[in-house]
Amino acid sequence: MTENQAIVLLIEDERQMRRFLRVALESEKYGVLEAETAADGLSQVATRNPDVVLLDLGLPDLDGLEVIEKLREWSAVPVIVISAREKEGDKIKALDRGADDYLTKPFGAGELLARIRVALRHASPKNQDQGEAVFVAADLRIDFLKRQVFCGTRKIHLTPIEYRLLTVLVKNAGKVMTHRHIIREVWGPLYVEQTHYVRVFMNQLRKKIETDSTRPRFLLNEPGIGYRFKE
């Protein structure tokens, strides 16, 4: 009886998609609930209390973005948006309105399961206090108390902005962070339109902590949306 008994609610109108997701999820021992419409989905969130919601944006009865808004009025359940929409604007809107992550159709099962794990971990109560003093991913080590970053044994010197940028991403490791979100956290709300700040500093940061900055291992770019720290 581990965390894998978590319950995933699929709000998706396409039967084939639900079938594939059910097989993929059940193979990982997740409990699966299905809803075909937004209304059904919302009522199942209220009555069945799922641990993660997989939400398709193109539902027959209600726009996915509105579902997120309604849901966020009374529930903090992690929501992963799955959408065939190419429009980056929709993904950013979904994230800004409270979705935790997104996946663009078509996607592989491995990718999906990884995202669900991240979402569950961030939602679990023991991570809420953020009390961990040291973060480790591969050979990257961050000591939050001493504000020090190591690559293997080599100590890396970061400017205050670079350090703040890194910690914001690391604390949300695995989750996509929009440009605006990052800027608000690092530079403050006055600078939200200056997205090039993130790009320039991210470039600098990559050169310092990545072995090959053009093929980054940790600091991944989500084109048009933002960045994600990959553990």
Residue ranges in contact with another protein by CB under 8 A: 86, 88, 106, 159-161, 187-188, 194-197, 199-200, 202-203, 213-216, 220-221, 223-224
d(CA 205, CA 142): 14
CB of 45 to another protein, least distance (A): 31
Minimum distance between the CB of residue 24 and another protein, rounded to whole angstroms?
14
Q: Toward another protein, which CB reaches closer, 124 or 221? A: 221
Q: Is 159 helix (H, G, I), strand (E, B) or coil?
A: coil
Tokens 């299905």 locate to 34
Q: Which residues pair with 110 in a beta bridge?
A: none
The smaller minimum CB distance to another protein, of residues 108 and 152, is found at 108
- Give whichever of 4 and 159 is closer to another protein, judged by the CB atom: 159
Q: Are 11 and 35 in contact (CB under 8 A)?
A: yes
CB of 212 to another protein, least distance (A): 9
Nearer CB in complex with another protein: 70/206: 206
Q: How far is the CB of 175 from another protein (least distance, A)?
A: 18
The rounded distance, in Å, linking the Cα atoms of 185 and 209 is 21
- Are 153 and 200 in contact, with CB atoms under 8 Å apart? no
CA-wise closest residue to 78 among 48, 113, 103, 51? 51
